[in-house]
Structure 1
Amino acid sequence: MEMPLVFDPEKWSPESIFEFYVREQKTAKSKGAIRTVFRISGDAVVKHVNDESEVNVMKLVLKAKIPTARLLLHVEHGIYSFVVLGYTEGRTLAEAWSSMPLEQKEFVIKTLHDYVVQLRKIKDEHSSTPGPLGPEPLVCDTFQLGYRSQGPFTTYAELTGFLNRKLNLVNRKRPSNPLGPFNEDWPLVLIHNDLNMTNIS
Structure 2
Amino acid sequence: MHTSASYPVSVTIHGEQGTGKKTLVSALHKHVYIRDQDNAAFLFKAQLANESTKNLASVSFVLVDAAHPKQISNEVMSLARESSALTCILLTKPDLISAEGSNDYFSYLYQMHRLPSEFDCDCFAINITSDKGICQVMHYAANSVAPLPKPLSWKAFLQRSCSSCLDFIATLFSLPTDRPPIDIDAELAAVQTQDDVDRLQDDTRTIAWNDDLKHRLRINPSWGTPGVHRITPSLVVKETGSFERATMEYVRKHTTILIPNLYHSHLGSLLMDFVDGEMLYECWDRQTWFMQFRIACTLRTYINQLRTLKRPNVGHVEDGYVNGIFFSEGDYGPFESISSFRRFCTRVAYLGWEILARRALSSYEPQEPLPNKNFDWSPTFVHGDLNMTNIILDKRGRLWLIDWGNAGFYPPCIESLAMRHSNEMILQDTVPSSWSRYRQFIAGATSEDEEKFWDNVYLGFIHRFAGVSFR
TM-score, scaled relative to structure 1: 0.77
Residue 351 of structure 2 corresponds to residue 160 of structure 1: no
The Cα shift of 1:97 comes to: 0.7
1:137 equivalent to 2:320? Answer yes
- Cα deviation for residue 189 of structure 1 reads 1.2
In the TM superposition, what whole-angstrom CA distance separates every residue of 1:110-135 from its partner, at most 9, and x where no partner exists? Answer: 11111111111124xxx32211111x
1:61 to 251, 265, 269: 251
Paired residues in the alignment total 185
In the alignment, which residue of structure 2 is the partner of 1:180? 372
Match of 1:15 in 2: 194
Check the 8 A contact 1:36/1:47 in 2, yes or no: yes
Q: Deviations over 1:169-198 (max 9, x none)?
A: 344427552331256x44201111221111
What is the CA–CA distance in structure 1 between the aligned matches of 2:335 and 2:320, rounded to whole Å? 6
Question: 2:380 aligns to what SS in structure 1?
Answer: coil
Amino acid at match of 2:286: S
The answer on 1:102 being equivalent to 2:285 is: no
Cα distance in 1 for partners of 2:352, 2:313 equals 26
Deviation at 1:161, TM superposition (A): 0.9
Distance in 1, Cα, partners of 2:287 & 2:250: 32
- Of 312, 319, 340, the match for 1:128: 312
Change (3 A) 1:93 1:176: closer
Higher relative contact order (CA 8 A, sep 6+): 1
Match among 253, 264, 275 for residue 73 of structure 1: 264
TM-score by length of 2: 0.36
Q: Which residue of 1 aligns with 2:274?
A: 87
Identify if the C-alpha distance between structure 1 residues 16 and 147 changes in structure 2 by more than 3 Å, giving closer, same or farther: closer
Structure-2 residue corresponding to 1:195: 386
**C-alpha contact (below 8 Å) 1:94/1:198 kept by paired residues:** yes
AA partner of residue 16 (structure 1): D
Which AA in structure 2 matches 1:53?
A: F
How far residue 85 of structure 1 moved from its aligned partner, in angstroms, is 0.9
Separation in structure 2 between the aligned mates of residue 8 and residue 176 of structure 1, nearest angstrom? 58
Q: What aligned pairs does 1:110-125 form with structure 2 within 5 A after superposition?
A: 110-123=297-310
More helix by share: 2
Cα gap change, 1:142 to 1:94, in 2 (>3 Å): same
Q: Closer, same or farther in 2 for the Cα pair 1:46/1:153, shift >3 Å?
A: same
Report the CA distance between 1:61 and its aligned residue: 1.2
Alpha-carbon offset, residue 149 of structure 1: 3.1
Give the letter for the 1:193 counterpart: G
- Runs of 4+ more than 4 Å apart: 26-31
Q: Secondary structure at the match of 2:277?
A: coil
2-structure distance, mates of 1:67, 1:181: 34
Q: Could you give the per-residue CA deviations for residues 126-175 of structure 1, whole angstroms, max 9, x where no partner exists?
A: x32211111x433x332312354322223211210111112223444275
Unaligned runs of 5+ in 2: 1-182, 212-219, 358-365, 393-471
Q: Distance in 1 between matches of 2:378 and 2:201?
A: 40
8 A Cα contact 1:60 1:122, kept in partner: no
2-side partners of 1:176 and 1:47: how far apart? 42
Shift of the 46–176 alpha-carbon distance from structure 1 to 2, 3 Å rule, reads: closer
- Evaluate the alpha carbon distance shift between residue 147 and residue 94 of structure 1 in structure 2; reply closer, same or farther with a 3 A threshold: closer
Q: Contact 1:64 / 1:122 at 8 angstroms: preserved in 2? A: no
- Alpha-carbon deviations, 1:48-84, whole Å to 9, x = none? 122x2211111111221211111123234xxxx3111
Q: Distance in 2 between matches of 1:148 and 1:89?
A: 32
Q: In 2, distance between residues paired with 1:162 and 1:21? A: 44
Deviations 1:92-112 (A, max 9, x none): 211111111111111111111
Per-residue CA deviation, residues 14-64 of structure 1 (Å, 9 max, x unaligned), is: 33245237636x9558953531111121111111122x2211111111221
2:146 corresponds to 1:146: no
**Residues 171 and 39 (structure 1 numbering): CA distance in 2 closer, same or farther, change over 3 Å?**
closer
